[in-house]
């Protein structure tokens, strides 16, 4: 049985005070945790403050990106050890905004994935097709290519420690959510791709979140699909009431 996992991707939003206030509200609403894992991913500069605000609770904290090198002359970058040091345990990798706006390739995601796993952090690896790729009937090919490139030279044991997020790019921040059938089709395909590349029991154990305009009113139907194991939430994660409603729909 895969335990549902809902994570909030705050992107480049909120002030420090707003971040800690939101984290505290989520902690009080979630309590000691129900049937769902929960994490929030603030901007790096607020990781420490948010980790302090969630300390001792069941709400985890994640970074939105990391650099693959351990330390050195990499101006502006943040290492896995630094992220761990300030209390985060998750890292989002390969978000479509990083792939499409900041030019991250599957190879970059793969290097980061190796670094994150070596540090004992839990990666949330994002994959997803552009609208023109979907319209050209290439969705599954694109997902397979992203999965294969991002997970190169990863063992089955390591894959078992990962979370994957399927985020169709056309559904992110647009209010245009994938239908539960469209999302389930890709999730089921991702599981077959993992079975083929690794083995069935590992593939069955990996949690696959859906992301892209998840809101309280569509969460239950999406999360009710057999291969959808949670959500990666952007806009609706910036307010405690909508984020908590999505958590409740999951668990
Ligand atoms: P959205 O973002 O919920 O605002 O569509 C999701 C994401 O980018 O992770």
Q: What would the pLDDT profile of 148-176 be if each residue is shown by its tens digit?
A: 999 999 999 999 999 999 999 999 999 88
On the question of pLDDT at 84 being above 80, the answer is: yes
What pLDDT digit, counting tens, does each position of 1-43 carry? 899 999 999 999 999 999 999 999 999 999 877 899 999 999 9
What is the whole-number distance in angstroms between the Cα of residue 171 and the centre of ligand 1?
A: 8
Mean pLDDT of 77-106: 98
With 0-12 / 13-18 / 19 or more C-beta atoms within 10 angstroms meaning exposed / middle / buried, residue 17 is: exposed
Give the residue whose CA is nearest to atom 1 of ligand 1: 234
* pLDDT reported for residue 34: 82
Q: What percent of the chain has pLDDT over 90?
A: 96
Is 181 one of the catalytic residues? no
* pLDDT reported for residue 5: 98
- Quick one: DSSP state of residue 5? E
* pLDDT reported for residue 75: 98
Give the residue whose CA is nearest to atom 6 of ligand 1: 234
Mean pLDDT of 188-201: 98
* pLDDT reported for residue 1: 83
What is the whole-number distance in angstroms between the Cα of residue 185 and the centre of ligand 1?
A: 19
The partner residues of 63 in beta bridges, in order of sequence, read 91
CB 40 within 8 A of CB 47: no
* pLDDT reported for residue 68: 98
Mean pLDDT of 182-196: 98
Q: What contacts 47, CB < 8 A, 6 or more positions away?
A: 61, 63, 83, 86, 87, 88
Mean pLDDT of 74-83: 98
Of 97, 104, 167, 184, which residue is the catalytic one?
167
Nearest to 240 by CA among 115, 54, 88, 65: 54
CB 215 within 8 A of CB 173: no
Among 167, 172, 214, 218, say which to mutate for ligand 1: greatest number of ligand atoms within 8 Å of CB. Answer: 172
On the question of pLDDT at 61 being above 90, the answer is: yes
Which atom of ligand 1 has the smallest separation from the CA of 236?
Answer: 3
Q: Report the range of poorest mean pLDDT among 22-26, 136-140, 176-180.
A: 176-180
Cα(169)–Cα(101) distance, rounded to whole angstroms?
12
* pLDDT reported for residue 169: 96
Q: Which residues line ligand 1 (CB under 6 A)?
A: 9, 167, 172-173, 211-214, 232-236
Choose between 31 and 222: higher pLDDT: 222
Is 167 one of the catalytic residues? yes
What is the whole-number distance in angstroms between the Cα of residue 199 and the centre of ligand 1?
A: 30
Can you give the residue ranges of every domain in the chain?
A: 5-250
Class of domain 5-250: alpha beta
Mean pLDDT of 110-127: 98
Nearest to 40 by CA among 57, 23, 20, 21: 23
Instruction: Give the CA-trace dihedral at 43, 46, 50, 51, to 10 degrees.
Output: 90
251: pLDDT confidence band, cut at 50, 70 and 90?
confident
Choose between 112 and 35: higher pLDDT: 112
């Amino acid at each position: 049985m895969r335990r549902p996992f809902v994570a909030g991707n705050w992107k480049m939003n909120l002030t420090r005070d707003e971040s800690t206030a939101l984290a505290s509200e989520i902690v009080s609403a979630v309590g000691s945790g129900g049937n769902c894992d929960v994490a929030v991913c603030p901007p790096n500069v607020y990781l420490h403050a948010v980790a302090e605000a969630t300390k001792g609770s069941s709400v985890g904290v994640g970074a939105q990106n990391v650099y693959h090198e351990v330390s050195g002359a990499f101006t502006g970058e943040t290492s896995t050890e630094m992220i761990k040091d300030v209390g985060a345990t998750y890292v989002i990798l390969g978000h479509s905004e990083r792939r499409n706006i900041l030019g991250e390739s599957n190879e970059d995601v793969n290097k980061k994935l190796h670094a994150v796993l070596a540090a004992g952090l839990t990666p949330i690896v994002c994959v997803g097709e552009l609208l023109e790729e979907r319209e050209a009937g290439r969705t599954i090919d694109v997902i397979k290519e992203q999965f294969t490139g991002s997970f190169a030279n990863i063992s089955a044991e390591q894959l078992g420690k990962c979370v994957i997020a399927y985020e169709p790019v056309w559904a992110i921040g647009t209010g245009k959510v994938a239908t539960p059938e469209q999302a389930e089709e890709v999730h089921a395909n991702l599981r077959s791709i993992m079975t083929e590349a690794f083995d069935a029991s590992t593939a069955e154990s990996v949690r696959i979140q859906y992301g892209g305009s998840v809101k309280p009113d569509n969460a239950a139907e999406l999360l009710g699909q057999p291969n959808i194991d949670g959500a990666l939430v952007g806009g609706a994660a910036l307010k405690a009431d909508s984020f908590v409603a999505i958590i409740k729909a999951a668990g």
